[in-house]
Amino acid sequence: MVVEEIEPAVAGSDTAEIITKDYGQFQIMIGCRDIIGYHLSPILAEDQSDPEIIKKADRKLQELLKEMRVRVGTLLKTDNVSFLLGAGASIKAGGVSLANIPNIFEAVLIRTAENEQENATPPGWISLFYATASSITQTELTYENRHSLIHINDGVSLPVIPINIEAYLSYLHMWLAGMSNISYSTTLCLNDGSRLELKQCDLERLIKEITKSLSLLLDLPSTKSGDGLLSHQRFIKKILTRPLNLRRANLFTLNYDTLLEQAADAEGAVLVDGFVGTLRRVFRPESYDLDFYFPAQTTEGRVHRFDRALHLYKLHGSLTWHRCEQGWENPYGLYASFFEQNCGDDDVLIYPSPLKYGQALGLPYSELFRRLGNAIAQPQSVLFTIGYGFGDDHVNAQIRQALSIPSFTLIVVDPNPSNEFVKKLEALKDERVWIVKGWELGTFEAFVQQLLPDLREEEIDAKVMNTYKSLAKEDGGNGK
Give the DSSP H or E segment for 179. helix 165-179
| Chain centre distance of CA 57 | 32
What is the predicted pLDDT for the residue at 116? Answer: 85
How far is the CA of 119 from the CAs of 112, 114, 116, 155, 191, in angstroms? 15, 10, 10, 25, 33
pLDDT beyond 80 at 224:
no
Longest dimension (CA), the chain: 91
CA distance 60 to 36: 9
How far is the CA of 166 from the CAs of 62, 67, 361, in angstroms? 40, 40, 19
Spatial neighbors of 92 by CB under 8 A, at least 6 apart, are 225, 227, 231, 443, 444, 445
Closest CA to 411 of 440, 381, 439: 381
Question: Domain extents for the chain?
Answer: 77-95+227-407, 103-216
CA distance 1 to 200: 55
380 φ/ψ sector (left φ>0, alpha ψ -120 to 50, else beta)? left
What is the predicted pLDDT for the residue at 267? Answer: 93
What is the predicted pLDDT for the residue at 75? Answer: 95
297 pLDDT band, cuts 50/70/90, is low
Amino acid identity for residue 217 in this structure: L
89 pLDDT band, cuts 50/70/90, is very high
pLDDT tens for residues 125-167? 999 999 888 888 888 888 888 888 887 665 556 788 888 887 7
Burial class (CB in 10 A: 0-12, 13-18, 19+), 275: buried
Q: Which residue has the higher pLDDT, 450 or 461?
A: 450
CA distance 342 to 226: 23
Spatial neighbors of 287 by CB under 8 A, at least 6 apart, are 272, 274, 275, 276
CA distance 437 to 418: 11
What is the predicted pLDDT for the residue at 396? Answer: 93
**Distance between terminal CA atoms of the chain?**
37
CA distance 386 to 447: 9
What is the predicted pLDDT for the residue at 474? Answer: 67
**Could you tell me if 232 and 62 are in contact, meaning their C-beta atoms sit under 8 angstroms apart?**
no
**Could you tell me if 127 and 143 are in contact, meaning their C-beta atoms sit under 8 angstroms apart?**
yes
* Minimum mean pLDDT range among 37-46, 69-78, 130-139, 290-299: 290-299
DSSP β-ladder status, 433-437 and 27-30: antiparallel
